[in-house]
Amino acid sequence: MALVCNNCGSCIQPLVNVLAQSIRCPECQHEEAMRILPLFIVTGASGVGKTAVVPALRQLLPAWEIFETDILHGADWQQQRSNWLRVAHSIAQNGRYTILCGTMLPEDVDRCDHRPFFSQVCYLNLHFDDATRTARLRTRPAWRGCDEAFIERHRQFAHWLLDHATTDFDPPLVTIETTARSPMRIAQAIHAWATLHVSGSPNPLA
């Protein structure tokens, strides 16, 4: 996350102060304001409704930026994640929060160069029962590659998320059971989760 100091012109790794909402140059000690907000990620196995919930979330959170992460494509998945964090950080400088809806995990997000510019990354998991997920994936068109091996991988991934919610996520991963819920009801639950996190943010929305 090397930046150019606006005071001395050095290429630096700035020192981030979340409470002061600022960064400081380690070379000349120049300090300047920066909004350092939390980032929200709605994750989950394939087929659980991460894309379907986006329109409803946009209705409920018009002051937030909501993205379905697959709209950016690239051969390098890690670069794609890094680009999303850069976008979300830039949006934060306008005083707006971002929710990214897509399969992302802490081990990948923490490697992104702009991760230090977020006070925390909060994850929410959408979870279907196995039968519902399998039925949904089997109805997808062939070009999406949802063969039986793909379905089994995502069954295992869905259960991995449940099993590692408190060990691999900080704060712990929150799970919403989506099997019998409409996209609007799911969005309402996400809305409650996200707004609870920002109620104590050091830099609330204007």
Q: Give the per-residue pLDDT at 72.
A: 84
- Locate tokens 């937030």: which residue? 64
Question: Residue 202: which pLDDT band, with cuts at 50, 70 and 90?
Answer: low
Instruction: Name the more confident of 142 and 25.
Output: 25
Q: If you average pLDDT over every residue of the chain, what do you get? A: 92
Domain annotation for the chain: domains and CATH numbers: 1-34 (no CATH), 37-198 (3.40.50.300)
* Helix-helix angle 148-163:130-138, to 10 degrees: 150
**Would you say residue 180 has pLDDT above 90?**
no
**Tens digits of per-residue pLDDT, 130-152?**
999 999 899 988 888 889 999 99
User: What whole-number distance in Å separates Cα of residue 122 and Cα of residue 4?
Assistant: 29
Instruction: Name the more confident of 145 and 169.
Output: 169
Give ∠ CA 82-86-88 in degrees, rounded to 5. 115
Residue 93: phi and psi, rounded to 5, are -70, -15
**Would you say residue 157 has pLDDT above 90?**
yes
Question: Residue 199: which pLDDT band, with cuts at 50, 70 and 90?
Answer: confident
Q: Give the per-residue pLDDT at 142.
A: 86
**Tens digits of per-residue pLDDT, 45-102?**
999 999 999 999 999 999 999 999 988 876 688 899 999 999 999 999 999 999 999 9
Q: What is the rounded (10 degree) CA torsion for 26, 34, 88, 38?
A: 100
Alpha helices in 101-201 (DSSP H): 106-109, 130-138, 148-163, 183-198
